[in-house]
Structures are given as structure tokens and as C-alpha cells.
Amino acid sequence: MSVPTPANPRIAMVITELDSGGAEKAFVRVACGLQQHGWQVTVFSLRDAGPLTAELQASGITVIALQCSSFNLASAVLRLVRHFRQLHPNLVLSFLHHANLAARLAAWWAGCRSVSGIRVADRRLLVTLPDRVTRRMVAHYIAVSRFTAEVHAQCCRIPPAKISYIRNGVDLTQIDKASPADRHPLKLSEEQFVVLFAGRMTQQKAPETVLQAIARLRHADPRTADVVRLLLVGDGPLTARLKSIADTLKITDQVRFLGYREDLTRLMKICSLLVLPSRWEGLPNVISEAQAAGLPVAAAAVDGIPELISAGHTGQLFAAADPVQLEQVLSYSLAHPAELRRMADQARERMHSCGGWEQAVAQYHIQLQRILHDGREL
């Protein structure tokens, strides 16, 4: 039985936290975009407010921080139920595993319909088992890539009609306007080949692979010690260990640990190659942003990444967390600058032809309206 679609539907959006990660930034883009499309958006963070709260509030979106830890699911569910019963949202949209689980349980309890955003192809049983058990509570799933949708549907036994995918957008205008960063404070010369790693320092992202590849390259050709520099942008639990690895490999003179940076796009414009050796991924924002900025990309051929990179055409692919193959990629890139530029130009052209966040948000708007209008599982 169909239900009427309200003129200004209310949507509760739930996420684990509002720190400056890729999924969190995409969540904020979608929330602000839906607000502009006429949705009445209220955002819930299971933890604290976080640095991305200001952008949401600037768009007129109410942000409610529940102050729950990752391990206190029951408390998060109870607090969400209370808020949902007061708000009466027409839909609940959540991002990330903990938020998905809490949101769908609370929505089911409060009599709301929930939509779960799937950001990575996570095959771990601790993720897939709870999702499998609660899948009947979900009206629809929206994954970040085709591959992510297929894997999640298979692992959690979700009917294909109940899951779709919408790729992240890119802020093309902002990237085009960004000026290159200053090389001098980073002790970089114009002639040096600058490799960039940007992401959380976690096992998933495999940042140690880049250090090992740089060391192998230096051993194979000592001249690269003067030519190649590595910028590591991001924080995480592996940071201290990575610094120790760089010291053990005797490459500290080539490595810059920059921590979290607000000017990543500007850094991209002074780098020679972005590398992402992740063990698993969804559809990494950093690849799309690098391609839009004209930065050549080499990444692990895992999960949704081949949907962004056509090997030899719009970038280079190698085996996940494999320093041997990454060393070969670096060696090839140093020897073939014209090929690197050709691939980067093709990637940038393709990225601009796909449209930015406006197109991605419009797809969310249409999909969510369809779920509301149908009043049944798609």
C-alpha cells in the first residue's frame, strides 16, 4: 500500500561521529544537500558533536550529540528512540556500521522506516552477522559503489532489489579554485617527485606499505633518496609505529608526517602521485578528489577502487598492501612522467564529466522520495 509523500519530509540522519573522515564529510554533504532540496534534516551523532558540526549548523540543520561510546549500543538505541518519537521522521538515514545498527533498531522500535548507508565492503563477521540479523528492519540500503552493494548484499543475504548505490560527489569548483601549497615549509624542491598518502593511519589503509616501497626503491637505486619525498597526511593508531618503521628503514630524511591537514587539496597540487595501498575500501573520496585536482593516482585494486581507476588509462593499480608492486609503480612513474600526466588528464576529464556533489545529492533525493512514495521495500 502506497503512502502519500509529504511536501517537506522530515529525515533523521545518524552517524557514529562528526570527525573529519571521508564518510563523515560525505554524510555532511548529503545532509546539507537534502536540506536544500526541501527535506527537514536533523542530524544525530552517536558520540560528540565533532568539527563538522559547524557546517551542518550553518545550513540550518539541528545537530544532536548523544555522547555515547561505540560499545554502548543499548544507550544509543534508547536515546534515538526517544528523539524519533518526538521528531516523527518520515525516514531515518544512517552512515557507518555502528550508526546503522543503532538507527535501524531505534527506527523499528519507534515505528519509522530506516535506510542504511553502506560505505565499505566489510566482510568481517562482527559486521555482517548483526546486519544479517537486523536486515528485515531496513527499508532500503544505499551503498557507495556497485562492488560494495554486491558484497554487502551477498554477505548479509539482502535481496538485490533492496540495495542500490550512489557514488560520492566531488566539490569540483572548490578544487579548481584551490591554489598550490607552499613547498618551502615542507622542505620540498621543485625538482623532487612528491608521493602523497592521505588517510587514517589504520590497518585498513596499510600505510606501512608506502614506507616499505620507498625503502625498496632507495635500495634498488640510491639516487632516489635525493629525488623522492613522501608526505603522510592523517592521524590514527598506527602513527607512532609508522615513525618507528621509517626510522628502522633509514628513510626519515625522505618522509614528512604532517598529521591532519585542512589544506589537502592544496597539497595535492604540489604532489606528483597519490598512493593508496588499502586492504579494503568502499569508494575512497581521496581518489576522486585527487583525480579532480589533476594528481596522478596509484591505488590497490580492491573493492570499489577499480570503479574509479581504469588501469593504464586513468591511473595505476597494484595488489593491496604489496610493497613490491608499489615499488614497481613508483619506479615506472619516475621513468615515465609523460604517461603519468596523460593518465591524470584523462582521470580529471572523466571526473568533471561525472558531475559534482549536486548530482550525487540529487540521486539521494530521488531515491529517498521513491522509498517514501512506494511505502514498501524497493
CATH at 126? 3.40.50.2000
| Inter-helix orientation angle 323-335/337-354, to 10° | 100
Question: Is the CB of residue 211 less than 8 Å from the CB of residue 242?
Answer: yes
**pLDDT on residue 376:** 47
pLDDT of res. 1: 37
Residue 163 pLDDT > 70, yes or no? Answer: yes
Please determine, for residue 268, whether its predicted confidence score (pLDDT) is greater than 80: yes
Distances from the Cα of 52 to the Cα of 33, 37, 234, angstroms: 15, 20, 16
Residue 53 within any structural domain of the chain: yes
DSSP 8-state symbol, 161: G
In a domain, 52, yes or no: yes
Confidence check: pLDDT of 254 > 70: yes
224 and 81 in a single domain? The answer is no
* Mean pLDDT in residue range 284-293: 94
Does 321 map to a domain?
Answer: yes
pLDDT in tens, 56-93: 999 999 999 999 976 689 999 999 999 999 999 999 99
Task: Inform me whether the pLDDT recorded for 189 exceeds 80.
Answer: yes
342 in the same domain as 292? yes
Tell whether 216 and 363 lie within a shared domain: no
Task: Work out the pLDDT band at 191, boundaries 50, 70, 90.
Answer: very high
- Residue 303's pLDDT band, with cuts at 50, 70 and 90, is confident
Cα–Cα dist 33/163, whole Å: 21
Give CA–CA dist 68/116, Å, rounded: 20
The answer to whether residues 163 and 42 belong to one domain is yes
108 and 241 fall within a common domain? no
- Nearest alpha carbon to residue 128 among 155, 149, 103: 155
**Is the residue at 23 inside a domain?**
yes
Q: State the residue range of the domain holding 273.
A: 173-354
Residues 6+ apart with CB under 8 A from 163: 118, 140, 141, 142, 143, 149, 152, 153
One domain for residues 45 and 93: yes
Q: Compute the radius of gyration of the chain from its Cα atoms.
A: 21
Q: Are residues 18 and 156 in the same domain?
A: yes
State whether 309 and 336 are in the same domain.
Answer: yes
Residue 2's pLDDT is what?
42
Inside any domain, residue 110: yes
Residue 375 has pLDDT above 80, yes or no: no
Instruction: Please tell me whether residues 95 and 55 are part of one structural domain.
Output: yes
Mean pLDDT of the chain: 94
CA nearest neighbour of 147 among 118, 175, 126, 185: 118
In a domain, residue 4? The reply is no
What total of structural domains would you count in the chain? 2
Res 20: pLDDT: 81
How confident is the model at residue 287, as a pLDDT? 96
Would 2 be classed as within a structural domain?
Answer: no
pTM for the whole structure: 0.82
Helices 125-134 and 146-156: angle between axes, nearest 10 degrees:
70
Reported confidence tier of residue 5, pLDDT bands at 50, 70, 90: low
The answer to whether position 251 is within a domain reads yes
Higher pLDDT, 73 or 270: 270
Residue 339: pLDDT over 80? yes
For 118, 244, 303, 307, the CA distances from 279, given in Å and listed in that order, are 17, 21, 9, 16
pLDDT band with cut points at 50, 70 and 90 for residue 374: confident
> Are both 278 and 365 inside the same structural domain?
no
Strands of the chain (E only): list them. Answer: 10-15, 40-45, 62-65, 91-95, 114-118, 138-143, 163-165, 193-198, 228-233, 255-259, 273-276, 297-300, 316-318
Same domain, 138 and 248: no
Q: Is the domain of 346 the same as that of 365?
A: no
Answer whether 263's CB lies under 8 Å from 181's CB: yes
